[in-house]
Homo-oligomer: A and B are copies of this chain.
Amino acid sequence: MGNLNLFLFISVLVSILAFAFAVWLYRWVVALPATNKRVEEIGGYIRKGANTFLRKEYTVLVKFCGVAALLIFLFLPAPIWQTASILDNLVIVIAYIGGTVFSAIAGKIGIQVATIANMKTAESAEKGGLKPAFLAAFRGGAVMGMAVVGSSLLGVTLVMFLTGDSTALLGFSFGASSLALFAKAGGGIFTKTADISADLVGKVELGIPEDDPRNPAVIADNVGDNVGDVAGMGADLFDSNVASMASALVMAIALGKKMNVDYAAMVFCYAAMGLLSSILGVMAARMGKKGDPTMALNMSTYITTGIFTALTAGATLIFQFDWRIWGATAVGLFVGVIIGISSDYFTNDDKKPVRYVAKASESGPAFTILSGVSYGFLSVIPAMVGIGVAALVSYNLCASIAPGDPTAGMFGISMAAVGMLSIVGMIISNDAYGPIADNARGLVEMGNMGEQALEITDSLDSAGNTVKAVTKGFAIAAAGLTIISLLGAFMSEVNEAAGEIILTGFDIVNPTVFFGMLVGAAVPAIFSAMLMLGVDRNAQRMVEEIHRQFREIKGLKEGKKGVIPEYDKCIDIATDGALKELIPAGLVSILITMAVGFIGGVEAVGGYLAGNIVSGLLLALFMSNSGGLWDNAKKYVEAGNNGGKGSEAHKAAVVGDTVGDPFKDTAGPSINTQITVVSLVASLMSSLFLAFSLF
């Protein structure tokens, strides 16, 4: 086990390095000049709003997680009155709580820096120009990237070091997932409630510009970017990263026992190399002479990819790891890049789909929707095929490690997921950059900082949107691979709980499996529907409130000096509504999983997970891509094409964008987390399903 301890140690070192780098970046951002009083005032509103939301959300979460922790203690891994040792249950509870706390802290750090970086970016845009403004936004985002990946690696390392137990790893992962489910769904409902209402009343009804300070929802909109895209997305990728490592480790431990090779060491080695590559990639991020922020973001992603490939190849050579496993990791990363590029095709305004939808908008909103839905459907092909090929190749590469035993192949798939997520630090940095730039644009508008600053932040914002589609494709694909390997993890948990090999697979032709598959496929649809109806209901409440303010606050519509809207009322509506709507959506998917398990038993659950993955991937990709497409089609029209701002095509494109908002920022990305949560619930409860199922 010498190798394992070495790499656990290295992982801790790299995590600490990431934290140190995050602190350095944070101080760099904070040290940027801040002189504009107006920006500081509005920025203060935003920070206060974000913290209010976070406080309320975490209060709800403490209750939820408390109940979950109690249930885990009572029932997992075995009912407390049957367990060999109460300590086993206690370990899982502690791991679970650890998972939630680590994720919550990373989210809090992200919000903290994002709500400072937005102001600094705005000021840099005004005084320094494009390059320094880009760097302020990017480095602000990178703090989040480093915090998330550092803490996820540190957490998994600690759990592994202290327990060495795969169920505890799944417990930690479940903690991260249950936080992510609520952070992503809650933040997603908040952000889209605010965004949609602000746009509908502001842009469509009154024709005032985006981010106009007269709009009562404008601060809530900016808060939403932070709680949805920074904190929510951070929790989501924290979760994916932990889940991919946990499932790889479950397989590594099972395979390691059999082959007497320490595969877990390899998982930690690669994960540490991934974080290190991201650190180097972030350091390398600069804008070239042409000053194209999209290019800068993409270049740093490619640099990270290159460094990771080289570093892991070197480590494999030095420590004489198995090259087949390295191959699986490389395949995962490669397919991830391909999927990212294909997402870009469907959402980039240089390409046919966006142009087509913009053109179709000339005939009215129905055509915007129809063409967007169609391209959204088409966009699933490359990712679905890519994930399938990655799974097939990585499985077959590694299957020969232990011929006849599916564990080896499954380990290959999970390593492909680890490979795809190896550059997650870079991905989060790019992703968190987006809302910071978006916020900065708002501050420039609200602070009247001039045309030039507006142009700069506009171009930063647009780069954020483009890159976001790419990183989202990455995240969804990686979640898909992870969950395929969690299916393997579920199987080995069942066999371990049974004390013998009772499951060697799940046969589609078995109607119990098929029954599970059909139910599992319905769950992502139900989950998305509940979230979107939540946004819908909440936005309608908020639109009423905005109307009320414009009606009752005298001089607001005319922009009379000194008249400011009641921003906090809108923030409260978005917050309370989001928290009210997220609980049922989160619970329902967990409860259906339990119902299937207790009715149909472990075979039904196997089918259920497969159905859930397949339809979850389909819907997540469809919703994320069509949402991104509509967003960019609207921007394309606003840039003066197909009639430009104010035209019928523009109105239609705004309808598309409004539909796309909860698609891409609420439902689509939350499905990822829903699938992960469901897979982990299934794995953790496997022994209960085995003991108590109806059939």
Q: Which residue from chain B places its CB closest to the CB of A614 in the assembled complex?
A: B521
Task: Report B-chain residues with C-beta under 8 Å of the C-beta of A508.
Answer: 487, 505-508, 513, 606-607, 610
* Shortest CB distance A617–B (Å): 7
Contact among B376, B509, B526, B655 with A488 in the assembled complex (CB-CB below 8 Å): B509
Of the candidates B363, B365, B385, B518, which one forms a contact with A522 in the assembled complex, judged by CB atoms under 8 Å apart? B385
Within 8 Å of chain B (Cβ to Cβ): is A618?
yes
- What CA separation (Å) do A507 and B517 show in the bound complex? 13
Q: Is the CB of A409 within 8 A of B521?
A: no
The answer to whether B518 touches A388, judged by C-beta atoms less than 8 angstroms apart, is yes
Among A242-250, A274-282, A389-397, A556-564, the one that faces the other chain is A389-397
Closest partner residue, chain B, to A409 (CB atom): B511
CA distance A385 to B511 in the complex (A): 13
A185 at the interface (CB under 8 A from B): no
Q: Which residues of chain B are near A504, meaning CB under 8 Å? A: 507
- Chain B residues, Cβ within 8 Å of A164: none
Known: A532-B373, A618-B521, A622-B525. A511 touches B395 (CB 8 A): yes
Is there an interface contact between A659 and B366, defined as CB atoms closer than 8 Å?
A: yes
CB contacts under 8 Å to B, within A168-220, are 196, 200, 204
Partner of A374, one of B506, B532, B614, B622: B532
Separation of A387 and B519 alpha carbons in the complex (Å): 9
From B363, B413, B511, B615, give the contact of A614 (CB < 8 A): B615
A587 contacts chain B at the CB level, 8 A cutoff: no
Instruction: State how many angstroms separate the Cβ of A333 from the closest Cβ of chain B.
Output: 18
- When distances are taken between beta carbons in the complex, the residues of chain B under 8 Å from A395 are 511
For A373, what are the chain B residues with a Cβ–Cβ distance below 8 Å?
A: 529, 532, 659
A392-B506 in contact (CB<8A): no
The segment out of A314-322, A441-449, A533-541 that lies at the interface is: A533-541
Query: Which residues between 455 and 487 of chain A lie within 8 Å of chain B, taking CB atoms?
Result: 484, 487
Question: Are B615's CB and A521's CB within 8 A?
Answer: yes
User: Does A370 sit at the interface, judged by CB under 8 A?
Assistant: yes
A367-B505 Cα distance, complex, nearest whole Å: 44
A636 at the interface (CB under 8 A from B): no
Could you write out 15 A-B pairs with CB less than 8 Å apart?
A200-B366, A363-B543, A364-B655, A366-B659, A369-B369, A370-B658, A371-B532, A377-B529, A378-B526, A381-B525, A384-B518, A385-B519, A391-B515, A391-B518, A521-B617
**A residues adjacent to B (C-beta < 8 A):** 196, 200, 204, 360, 363-367, 369-371, 373-378, 380-381, 384-385, 387-389, 391-392, 395-396, 406, 409-410, 413, 484, 487-488, 491, 504-519, 521-522, 525-526, 528-530, 532-533, 535-536, 539-540, 543, 600, 606-607, 610-611, 614-615, 617-618, 622, 654-655, 658-659, 662
Q: Which 8 pairs show the lowest CB-CB distances between chains A and B?
A: A505-B507, A366-B658, A377-B529, A395-B511, A388-B515, A388-B518, A377-B525, A374-B529
